Amino acid sequence: MEKNKTGKYLKYAIGEIVLVVIGILIALSINNWNEWRKERFTENKVLENLKENLEMNIHQIESQLTAIHRNNQSGEIILSVLGAVQVNTDTLGHHFHRALLNNGNLRLSQAGYESLKNVGFEIIQNEYLQNDIIDLYEITYLNLNRVQQWGMEVRPDWDSFVVEHFILGISNWVPRDFNFVINNHYFNGLVAVGRAQRRYYGEKYQNALKETIRVLQLIKDKLGEEGVKE
């Protein structure tokens, strides 16, 4: 201070502080960048799991729709002969059983969604994609499970009738007495209910399939962007 060097010392001290602050900011920036990369890598893994999950669900829905179409054909065949005096039972065997099936037993996988919930929804940066995924599982799939309860309501009666009046053949249940079953009003009612339920479920499955394909494409588009490597 006696030599009037105070200004130089102050400038030096300020310079040191500025360098320290810059160093801290650079370190924080690098740390944030690394955290961002880790989060994007986790996001990609979650989306990959969801993609595989939805592809599996699409296969499940398509298989169920194929079964509905097959059982609808059997149902129409049986409805056309109900009350007939004489029928060719050799060609009708497996159709009796299929005509009763309502195909209300679709169960879709939730594994990919559970993985997302465990990580946290906020891991998906795109808010619109995040909401679409949540809506698919929490609205579309959840409602699908609820509407299928209709099929469970008549299942005890269906099981009881089949056990009493059908016998297990090579691959399907067939009537013990074809003429009795064809002319049985209760069986006629079960066939009619089965047809109504298949039509109802078929419409719901088609809607779920369409929505699943749409969300799957959004996920594929996101994964198709420049990926983040670990």
d(CA 52, CA 42): 16
Residue 99 contacts residue 74 (beta carbons within 8 Å): yes
Residue 76 token pair: 């129409």
What pLDDT score does 156 carry?
77
d(CA 99, CA 8): 97
Beta bridge partners of 175: 166
Range of 151's domain?
6-224
Digit-by-digit pLDDT tens for the chain (230 residues) are 455 566 667 767 777 777 777 777 776 777 666 776 788 889 999 999 999 999 999 999 999 999 999 999 999 988 888 766 666 666 677 888 889 888 888 999 999 999 999 999 999 999 999 999 999 999 999 999 888 887 777 777 778 888 898 888 777 788 888 888 888 889 998 899 899 999 999 999 999 999 999 999 999 999 986 444 44
- In terms of residues, how long is the chain? 230
The answer to whether residue 1 is domain-embedded is: no
Please tell me the total count of domains within the chain. Answer: 1
Place of tokens 């929505």: 211
- Phi/psi zone of residue 228: left (φ > 0), alpha (ψ -120 to 50 degrees), beta? beta
d(CA 162, CA 92): 16
Give ∠ CA 207-154-105 in degrees, rounded to 5. Answer: 40
Element (H, E) at 118: helix 111-119
d(CA 184, CA 162): 13
What pLDDT score does 71 carry?
94
What pLDDT score does 226 carry?
47
Whether the CA torsion 168, 169, 174, 178 is positive or negative: it is negative
d(CA 94, CA 28): 70
What pLDDT score does 40 carry?
83
What pLDDT score does 228 carry?
40
What pLDDT score does 225 carry?
62
What pLDDT score does 7 carry?
66
What pLDDT score does 218 carry?
95
Whether the CA torsion 16, 19, 23, 24 is positive or negative: it is positive
What pLDDT score does 206 carry?
97
What pLDDT score does 158 carry?
79
3-state secondary structure of 84: coil
What pLDDT score does 175 carry?
86
What pLDDT score does 222 carry?
92
What pLDDT score does 197 carry?
92
Q: What is the DSSP letter of 122?
A: G
